[in-house]
Amino acid sequence: MTDRRDDEIRGKPPDPPEPFDPSTREFPAVDPEEERDAGRPFIPPDLEEEMGGSLNLDADLEKARDLEADRIEHRHEAVPMDTSTFMAIPAPSPSGPFEPPEFDEKEGRLGRSTAFFSIATAFSRVAGLVREIVAASYFGITGPMSAFTIAFQVPNLVRSLFADAAIQAAFVPVFTEELEKGNKKEAFRLASTLIYLVTLVLGAITALFILLAPLITPIFAPGFSGEILDLTVILSQILFPILILLGATGMVVGVLNSYDRFAAFAISPFFWNVVIILVLVLLEPAFHGNDRIYAYAIGVLAGTVVQLAIPAWDLRHTPFRLTRDFDWHIPEVRRVLLLMLPVTLSLGLINFDLLLNSIVGTLVSTEAPAAIDKAFRIYMLPQGIFSVAVATVTFPTLARFAARQEWVNLRATMANGMRQILLLLIPAAAAVLVLSVPMTRLIYQRGAFDAHQSHLVAQALFWFAFSLPFNGLYLMLTRTFFSLQRPWVPTAVAGSNLVVDIIFSFALYSPFGIGGVVAATVIATISSVVAEVVILRRQLDGLELARLMATAARVLVAAAALAGVSYLVWYGLDDALGRSTIAQIVSLGTALAAGFATYFGAVMALRVPEARQIMRLARHIG
């Protein structure tokens, strides 16, 4: 009955055309009468009869459309759709690799979010660099600064185990999945319960550590003793309360990211750095000798309060409302906690890997932990602006594709993100490799920071540069596993990473000093990327590695041109202008501008597709 009625509405479809004749390379000729009638729209016979038999197209076409629309409406009322049968129809298999469209609105929103996040993160990283410059001018990389480095990294390690990124990486996929199912009430109850639970647990851990700090802190500073060790203990007690604040921040940011709101999260570190600088400058004169470092620690505590307040305020612009529910027995909470266990281990191992540099550094000298940390701050400027931005903005999209089991879209999104990371971080690595000494000298060498200290930091920075693109890929691959809710894989990889790092750190620190400690981290990062690529390629049936390698090859050629031009320009200007602060800014700035202009021209000439994506995005935003 339905098929007959459909035929009445649509009319009998025309006969298919004769097949193409390959011998003549043409279709059969069309009869002139048929060609003349081909443009006449088909009207069912019963409609034509109802309209009076003789059809005047110009006068009656609108009437015919109205009658046909009315019948379609009645048909929709009379014929139910078997949705279960419809949804059971399998989607067609793609005939070739997924090619992202030139531009669509959804991709545009993701691109604009990435662009804004990158810009906001750039401001935050620059502010962080200013903070490091101010702190270095006060303390250099002396014993008190190394004590602060260890004292700050210990609560930061615990944060990675129980707060911030750990809870966020486990929470976002589950919270997003509940929202996708339309379970808004259950999603809000989950988030509220976890906010209360995280605050209580981290509060207890903080109180316990403050009491036991004299026993715990020396484990992380085996090379320290006497006054420097005592200073490290007190600083860790001052800084440990940031753990509670960062835990709450991680939950709030997880909710915001699930609603594709990244602005507050991106800009809050900028104000964190500004507050620290202001407190340091205002309070430092109130202390004397080594105690002046306390002003820096108090500034970090005050800045972390502001860092929580900004995203918490932005929650007003989402549908989320904090409830009074504290039901940690609900299945979703248990699921997040189970997911959090491997995520905690994974991120904890990654952060312990960073702390390992400082621990082994104490065996090199009292200056080494601070020198490695200062180099790491420069290294994180391009890392944070580009790879962290791409991975953070892409993560909710990957989680949604995983929840919908849209594996082709997930693979294409992740692969495109990896190629963009290489496009942005390989040239950054090339620039740092050839200009590590002038970069360090311009950024840090003033006040208590002398030329010898610049040499130590530049040595660490040189070796960090090799890990820039690999660490970016590692971050993207790890986020993909989290979106698939398979966090045990990056956990196992992070464990092997730590083992490799420990082996090479203790093997290389004695003969090569600071450079050996950082080189061990580079080796471990590369091994982790290789392991995750092999595993994820098997699970997703490919990672578009051919395209990735083709992009990498062309980007490497362009980056080599950047390195050569940058160094030659800097060398000539440095020799001509001298080493005043203004002269260093001009020589280094001009060298970087010339190098990146060369790089941009090279990637466009080499037709790197990801460069053209960024150009299209820039034109669209503009």
Structure tokens at 454: 């610049």
- Is the CB of residue 295 less than 8 Å from the CB of residue 280? yes
Q: What is the per-residue pLDDT for 620?
A: 53
**237, 246, 243, 225: which is closest to 146 by C-alpha?**
225
- The residue with greater pLDDT, 88 or 213, is 213
Residue 36 predicted with pLDDT over 70: no
What whole-number distance in Å separates Cα of residue 479 and Cα of residue 485?
10
pLDDT band of residue 294 (cuts 50, 70, 90) is very high
- The residue with greater pLDDT, 43 or 539, is 539
Residue 363 predicted with pLDDT over 80: yes
What is the mean predicted confidence (pLDDT) over 277-284?
95
Structure tokens at 560: 């080599």
Q: C-alpha distances in angstroms, 429 versus 188, 422, 426, 599?
A: 43, 10, 5, 13
pTM (whole model) above 0.75: no
Least confident of 89-98, 255-264, 408-417: 89-98
Maximum alpha-carbon separation in the chain: 107
pLDDT in tens, 215-236: 998 988 888 888 899 999 999 9
Which 3 state secondary structure label does DSSP give 458?
A: helix
pLDDT band of residue 166 (cuts 50, 70, 90) is low
**208, 209, 203: which is closest to 244 by C-alpha?**
203
Structure tokens at 188: 């809000």
**377, 268, 370: which is closest to 314 by C-alpha?**
268
pLDDT in tens, 251-261: 888 888 788 77
Q: What is the per-residue pLDDT for 10?
A: 43
**Phi, psi of 9, rounded to the nearest 5 degrees:** -75, -50
pLDDT band of residue 398 (cuts 50, 70, 90) is confident
Query: Most confidently modeled of 78-82, 92-96, 102-106?
Result: 102-106
pLDDT band of residue 188 (cuts 50, 70, 90) is confident
Residue 598 predicted with pLDDT over 90: yes
Q: C-alpha distances in angstroms, 96 versus 92, 579, 610?
A: 12, 57, 20
Residue 122 predicted with pLDDT over 90: no
- Is the CB of residue 354 less than 8 Å from the CB of residue 79? no
Contacts of 586 (CB under 8 A, 6+ apart): 573, 577
Q: What is the per-residue pLDDT for 17?
A: 43
Least confident of 47-56, 165-174, 518-527: 47-56
Contacts of 556 (CB under 8 A, 6+ apart): 426
10 Å CB burial of residue 455 (0-12, 13-18, 19+) is middle
Q: What is the per-residue pLDDT for 530?
A: 93
- Is the CB of residue 425 less than 8 Å from the CB of residue 387? yes
Crossing angle for the helix pair 184-216 and 242-258, to the nearest 10 degrees: 160
Q: What is the per-residue pLDDT for 76?
A: 41
- Is the CB of residue 482 less than 8 Å from the CB of residue 493? no
pLDDT in tens, 44-66: 444 444 445 544 544 454 555 55
Crossing angle for the helix pair 105-139 and 263-283, to the nearest 10 degrees: 10
Residue 203 predicted with pLDDT over 80: yes
**353, 553, 331, 522: which is closest to 432 by C-alpha?**
522
- Is the CB of residue 162 less than 8 Å from the CB of residue 201? yes
For the chain, what is the mean pLDDT? 78
Q: What is the per-residue pLDDT for 23?
A: 39
What whole-number distance in Å separates Cα of residue 536 and Cα of residue 34?
57
Q: What is the per-residue pLDDT for 352?
A: 76
**Phi, psi of 14, rounded to the nearest 5 degrees:** -65, 155
**304, 265, 481, 539: which is closest to 392 by C-alpha?**
265
pLDDT band of residue 79 (cuts 50, 70, 90) is very low
- The residue with greater pLDDT, 70 or 203, is 203
- The residue with greater pLDDT, 83 or 18, is 18
Residue 592 predicted with pLDDT over 90: yes
Residue type, 507: A
**245, 260, 263, 464: which is closest to 374 by C-alpha?**
464
- Is the CB of residue 144 less than 8 Å from the CB of residue 292? yes
What whole-number distance in Å separates Cα of residue 477 and Cα of residue 126?
26
Q: What is the DSSP letter of 286?
A: G
Q: What is the per-residue pLDDT for 5?
A: 42
User: Tokens 């008190």 belong to which residue?
Assistant: 144
Q: What is the per-residue pLDDT for 91?
A: 38
User: Strand (E) positions, 494-559?
Assistant: none
- Is the CB of residue 250 less than 8 Å from the CB of residue 163? yes
**478, 334, 412, 398: which is closest to 177 by C-alpha?**
398
Give the start-to-end residue ranges of the domains of the chain: 117-543, 544-622
Which 3 state secondary structure label does DSSP give 26?
A: strand
- Is the CB of residue 440 less than 8 Å from the CB of residue 432? no
Residue 102 predicted with pLDDT over 60: no
Contacts of 505 (CB under 8 A, 6+ apart): 356, 357, 360, 516, 517, 520, 521
